Amino acid sequence: MIAALGNLLKGVIDYAGLFPPADLEMNRAVEIFTADRQGAYHKWLQHFIVPAERISELDSLRTASTIDPHWTLSVLVGGGETLRDWHAAVESGLAAVDSSRHRPAPDTITVLEIALPTAMAADTASFVQAIDEIEARIRNTLLADCDLFFETTTSASHRRALAEVLCDRQTRTSRVGLKLRTGGRTPSHIPSLSQLSENIQLCHSLQIPWKATAGLHHPLPHACPKIGATMHGFLNLLFAVVLLEAKVLPVDRLENLLADRNAEHFTFTESCLAWEGMAADLSQIQAGRERFISFGSCSFAEPVEDLAQLGLLPKQSDMHDS
């Protein structure tokens, strides 16, 4: 595999087979993740994403089968409309996690993804209080060293206020960052090019890590007839982050890059990647990936198959024939 491509995609996908549109049963999601972790592109996989309230299901499967001891989990907690709802959801979720950790577990929970309440005020004090409460709750527990990614509503003012608070938390030993939605079941869940561009610039300017969820199943922008909208491409997003961090991409070209569907414009060599004459070397790719951590996808096969169709990977038939 071309070195720049491998570096760009290392650990980029968190497997979300339990979530829409796949909506798999726990046993099937575990089977698929186990198989993909043994495949040719296993280095691109990172965490298995599981809601806190379903930890017990995973526990029961652990007792019935052998799970790779190198698994890591990203656990979802929180949500709800009001602060009261959120407090109850967080406490219930973390209690379920605490209970599961008393059993011998081959996997490790390394990330908490925390959905903040939808009715939360878009002010600094509210976000500071919520983050303080999470950190206080996990302090002196086995979750104390987890990376924390916070998700707020789709409001730009909410994102900005939360991002500024997270910027002040970068002295924390583990990562604390922003979780952003890049898709969903309806067109309204998919950010526009300008909104996605603003989000990328926000995390870049405040120097905070971030991860994405939903809608990034394809390398390049893809018209989805089921949703009736165009989904964003993960190659476009990754190139945008990397080239912006490398200081070679003008901000006024960011939306052009995010909208580009021409695979020939995205090139890789052993030492760099490039788009339209703008290049980033391996160290700059790494710096970009330290800014953008991963994206959740309910399919791992689909991104791999699409990359093969673009000629960036050998097709499965070619691999079997060789």
Residue 128 in contact with residue 119, Cβ under 8 Å?
Answer: no
Chunked into runs of 10 residues, the chain (322 residues) has average pLDDT values of 95 96 94 92 96 90 68 94 93 90 69 94 91 93 93 89 94 91 89 97 98 95 90 98 98 98 97 97 98 97 95 66 38
Q: Which residue has the tokens 């198989």?
A: 35
Of 206, 227, 193, nearest to 159 by C-alpha is 206
- Evaluate whether the domain defined by 3-309 bears CATH number 3.20.20.70: yes
Contact yes or no for 69/57 (Cβ under 8 A): no
Question: Helix, strand or coil for residue 148?
Answer: strand
> Tokens standing for 287?
């710096």
Does residue 177 sit in helix, strand or coil? Answer: strand
| Rounded Cα gap, residues 183 and 298, in angstroms | 12
Taking the C-alpha atoms of residue 70 and residue 243, their distance in angstroms, rounded to an integer, is 32
Tell me, what's the pLDDT at 172?
78
CB count in 10 Å sphere of residue 223: 11
- Sort strands 176-181 and 210-213 into parallel, antiparallel or unpaired: parallel
What is the SS3 assignment for 149?
Answer: strand
pLDDT of residue 67: 65
Query: What per-residue confidence (pLDDT) applies to 301?
Result: 95
Find residue 303's DSSP bridge partners: none
* The pTM of the whole model exceeds 0.85: yes
Instruction: Locate the domains of the chain by residue range.
Output: 3-309
**Do residues 121 and 87 touch, judged by C-beta distance below 8 A?**
no
Q: How far is CA 122 from CA 144, 157, 158, in A?
A: 27, 6, 5
